[in-house]
Amino acid sequence: MKFHLVINMERMDASSTYAEVARHVTEMVRLAEEANFHIVWAAEHHGIEMTIAPDAFQILTWLAAHTSRIRLGTAVVVSPYAHPVRVAGMAALLDVYSEGRLELGLGSGAYQWEMDRIKPGLQQHNAHLYTQELLPAIRSLWQGDYEHQGEYWNFPRMTSVPKPVQSSTPRIWIAARSPVTFDFAVKNNCHNLSWALARPLSEVEVYLEHFETALKSNPGAPRPVFATMRQTAVYAKPSEADEYLDAWVSKTARFENLFKNIADVKQGFPEQVDLSALAGEDRFNRKELKQNLMFGTPDQVIEKLKQYRAIGVDDFIYNASYGLPRDKQKRSLKLFCEEVVPAFS
């Protein structure tokens, strides 16, 4: 099992400076690289302080300058906000600067609040259609001169400048949860990024079923990597769990606002919604959350990861960004690197 890291610049209030959070992200990525994490992923979000990520390629170019081995992935380029020519060129330029460490992740985007401002009228459940057009256009632009006439973009003949420097075409990952996105990923030789949010392990098993169905529906297609993400906390004593859960609940109350666009966002800070008032609020039962999230002592986390490996998960993505104070984020990642990673070497 390989390990990846998701880490965002985040501010839950205005008490931290951007320089402080940028420095913290860099330090976290260096810790992950020292522990031989395979990939670090950077997001794309706009106008939101809790995920300061208007350009994943800029973030990863910065991280490329402060690392030497860890691969650099976009999780994800939001396809409806993109243009094939811009994405092909920016991705290839990152590959040049990083000497071939690019991993390109594409997806639909998560926040309806964001779409209402950047792509008015688009509903999140239809956004995957943009990815289906964007992916082949990027690959064609990397190959040479290409003219595109599509549903969402049109442009005369041109090519991507620069082009990737990897010896083979850079790997592309698709953020997948529904059967149609898994099928598209497998059919187009793309790897899979999945996230079961706070749902139980059985939700990951559902995604794996979609994945296996896609493989059966596309005979001869190579088996891609199945990677899944969980917000992660590793602590020395079980009694510490609640302070990590408190941070998760606070951020999730803001995430649900953005996901459903049901409350206000002021100066970039989303208001919290009452999780107990949402449909399916049983998802936020604290006892179940401790089990569903990758929370626990090193031994508990090792046992959970063994379950993930046993059901067919190839790579695990450690999500460090859920409003936890920076010192606790760093303490958790250090424990994971020192006591969990060696169990899977």
Q: What is the pLDDT along the chain (345 residues), one digit of tens a residue?
A: 999 999 999 999 999 999 999 999 999 999 999 999 999 999 999 999 999 999 999 999 999 999 999 999 999 999 999 999 999 999 999 999 999 999 999 999 988 999 999 999 999 999 999 999 999 999 999 999 999 999 999 999 999 999 999 988 999 999 999 999 999 999 999 999 999 999 999 999 999 999 999 999 999 999 999 999 999 999 999 999 999 999 999 999 998 888 888 889 999 999 999 887 776 656 688 889 999 999 999 999 999 999 999 999 999 999 999 999 999 999 999 999 999 999 998
Q: Which long-range contacts (CB under 8 A, 24 or more apart) does 50-54 make?
A: 50/8, 50/10, 50/11, 50/12, 50/251, 50/254, 50/269, 50/270, 50/323, 51/8, 51/9, 51/10, 51/321, 52/8, 52/9, 52/10, 52/11, 52/18, 52/21, 53/8, 53/9
**In what helix (H) or strand (E) does residue 113 lie, and over which residues does it extend?**
helix 112-118
Give this prediction's pTM.
0.96
CA dist 308 and 326 (Å) reads 27
**Domains along the sequence of the chain with CATH:** 2-344 (3.20.20.30)
Given a contact cutoff of 8 angstroms between Cβ atoms, the answer to whether 40 and 7 are in contact is yes
Q: Look up residue 125 and give its DSSP letter.
A: G
Q: What angle do CA 114, 120, 126 make, to 5 degrees?
A: 80
Retrieve residue 62's tokens: 């910065």
CA dist 275 and 269 (Å) reads 17
- Strand pairing report for 77-78 and 102-107: parallel
- Strand pairing report for 146-149 and 102-107: unpaired
Cα separations (Å) of 130 from 78, 89, 135, 177, 311?
Answer: 9, 18, 9, 16, 31
Residue-wise DSSP of 172-230: EEEE--SHHHHHHHHHTT-EEEEE-TT--HHHHHHHHHHHHHHHHHSTTPPP--EEEEE
